[in-house]
């Protein structure tokens, strides 16, 4: 991607100091890569439902005082990029909301290590990036990007930005009331819970594509960036993660969609640049 460091975003909260921050996640599988939780759970021997269906078992809090931040030039450059991407993504949604006579409330992004405390509770970094609707904040341990590159074979700065754009997609859903409506539907219709979760996640993928459409118009994408996003989307499909864990593919357990579905909905947003094209809840097929 073409980007220039502009200083840290006013919406960036850096809680990396001390090496053990405090963490949480959205219930129902909240990150782009909230689905990564399924794979990690399988690797660790725990039932995936304990994680995806709600908060994972929280690690005990620590009373250890935070120490000085230990970092590297490479990590600080990554923080600069994430800060730039956060502002660029939210610039897109500010414009989109204004054109529809809505008010966009900016989300904060919290950087942490190991675990972090949020309005959704405490959680470890193993859940991957997530969004907490109760405090309007997205959370990420930057070590996740190394996992995305090495374990999931999805390197590149655009793939990293896509992860963040998906989380801000959940923020958009929160602002529009979509998350609340779907949560109520899931409670009223438990048999539809998996299908509704998939549709919610695919919509967030599509919203990430909407951002990509406009940042491309602003001249920030380079050749191969779109393919980076599609590769990242494919690497975290439910079917790909189940196969990667050595398990049979079970569509009845999907919560985020197949690799093909995630690619399709990201590309729908990318090609159209229209929020309206992202209504996965009325789509006959995903």
Q: How far apart are the first and last CA of the chain?
A: 29
Answer yes or no: is pLDDT of 19 > 80: no
Answer yes or no: is pLDDT of 38 > 50: no
CA 118 to chain centroid, in Å, comes to 16
Rounded CA-CA distance 283/204 in Å is 15
Answer yes or no: is pLDDT of 112 > 80: yes
Q: What is the pLDDT of residues 58-79, one digit of tens each?
A: 444 444 445 678 899 999 999 9
| pLDDT the model gives residue 97 | 98
Q: What is the pLDDT of residues 199-241, one digit of tens each?
A: 999 999 999 999 999 999 999 999 999 999 999 888 888 878 7
Question: Which residue(s) pair with 121 in the sheet?
Answer: 118
Q: What is the pLDDT of residues 127-176, one digit of tens each?
A: 889 999 999 999 999 999 998 888 888 889 999 999 999 999 999 999 99
- Mean pLDDT calculated for residue range 185-190: 94
Distances (CA, A) of 211 to 94, 195, 227: 11, 25, 15
Query: Which of 252, 132, 256 minimizes the C-alpha distance to 203?
Result: 256
Confidence of residue 44 (pLDDT cuts 50, 70, 90): very low
| pLDDT the model gives residue 182 | 94
48-57, 168-177, 241-250, range with the lowest pLDDT: 48-57
Rounded CA-CA distance 210/216 in Å is 10
Confidence of residue 250 (pLDDT cuts 50, 70, 90): confident
Q: What is the pLDDT of residues 255-266, one digit of tens each?
A: 888 889 999 999
| pLDDT the model gives residue 237 | 84
| pLDDT the model gives residue 206 | 97
Q: Mean of the per-residue pLDDT values for the chain?
A: 83
| pLDDT the model gives residue 193 | 92
Question: Exposed, middle or buried, 260 (CB in 10 Å: 0-12/13-18/19+)?
Answer: middle
| pLDDT the model gives residue 285 | 86
């Amino acid at each position: 991607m073409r980007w220039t460091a502009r200083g840290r975003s006013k919406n960036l909260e850096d809680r990396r100091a001390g090496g053990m921050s405090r963490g949480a996640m959205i219930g129902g599988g909240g990150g782009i890569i909230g689905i990564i939780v399924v794979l990690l759970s399988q690797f660790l021997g725990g039932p995936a439902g304990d994680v995806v269906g709600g908060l994972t078992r929280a690690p005990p809090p620590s009373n250890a005082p935070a120490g000085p931040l230990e970092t590297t030039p490479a990590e600080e450059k990554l923080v600069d990029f994430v800060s730039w991407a956060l502002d660029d993504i939210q610039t897109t949604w500010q414009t989109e909301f204004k054109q529809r006579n809505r008010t966009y409330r900016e989300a904060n992004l919290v950087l942490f290590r190991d675990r972090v405390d949020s309005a959704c509770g405490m959680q470890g970094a193993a859940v991957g990036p997530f969004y907490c609707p109760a405090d309007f904040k997205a959370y990420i341990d930057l070590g996740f990007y190394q996992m995305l590159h090495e374990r999931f074979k999805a390197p590149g700065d655009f793939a990293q930005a896509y992860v963040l754009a998906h989380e801000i997609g959940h923020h958009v859903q929160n602002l529009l009331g979509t998350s609340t409506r779907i949560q109520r539907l899931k409670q009223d219709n438990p048999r539809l819970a998996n299908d509704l979760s998939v549709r919610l996640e695919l919509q967030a993928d599509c919203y990430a594509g909407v951002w990509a459409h406009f940042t491309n118009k602003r001249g920030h994408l380079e050749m191969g960036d779109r393919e980076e996003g599609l590769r990242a989307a494919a690497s975290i499909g439910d079917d790909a993660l189940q196969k990667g864990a050595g398990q049979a593919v079970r569509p009845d357990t999907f919560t985020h969609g197949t690799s093909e579905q995630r690619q399709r909905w990201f590309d729908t947003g990318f090609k159209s640049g229209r929020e309206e094209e992202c209504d996965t809840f009325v789509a006959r097929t995903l």
